[in-house]
Amino acid sequence: MAHRDPHLFFTIYTFKGFNMSNNVIVWSKDKCFYCQMAKNVLELQGIEFEERNISLNRWSRADMLEAVPNAKTLPQIFFGEEYIGGFTELQEYLKE
């Protein structure tokens, strides 16, 4: 299995129109390639976020499913009350 570097494979987008007072939440887990990619994109854009890692004791899969009942993968991303989706949807959202 080839090693994938989470610092590669994404495009940096010009991000307009997001009110930084909105809370950005990233539901994630340890050793999740796309979770790390999503966090990297947000950091490169200067967007602060709260990570809710379900691998740790503070947040659980049940907590995540309460926020996103049909979630089957991670990450799951919210900008304020707006549900974005996963990494692919984050990329599309930032293009708009």
Please tell me which of 4-8, 17-21, 26-30 the model is most confident about, judged by mean pLDDT: 26-30
**Whole-number pLDDT of residue 19:** 53
Name the residue among 53, 49, 31 with its Cα closest to residue 39. Answer: 49
37 falls within a domain: yes
pLDDT class for 3, splitting at 50, 70, 90? very low
Q: Which two tokens stand for residue 72?
A: 């089957």
**CATH code, 68:** 3.40.30.10
Q: Which residues span the domain enclosing 38?
A: 24-74+84-95
**What does pTM read for this prediction?**
0.79
User: For 39-95, how does the pLDDT look when each residue is reduced to its tens digit (9 = 90+)?
Assistant: 999 999 999 999 999 999 999 999 999 999 999 999 999 999 999 999 999 999 999
30 falls within a domain: yes
CA distance 81 to 6: 27
38 falls within a domain: yes
Count: domains in the chain: 1
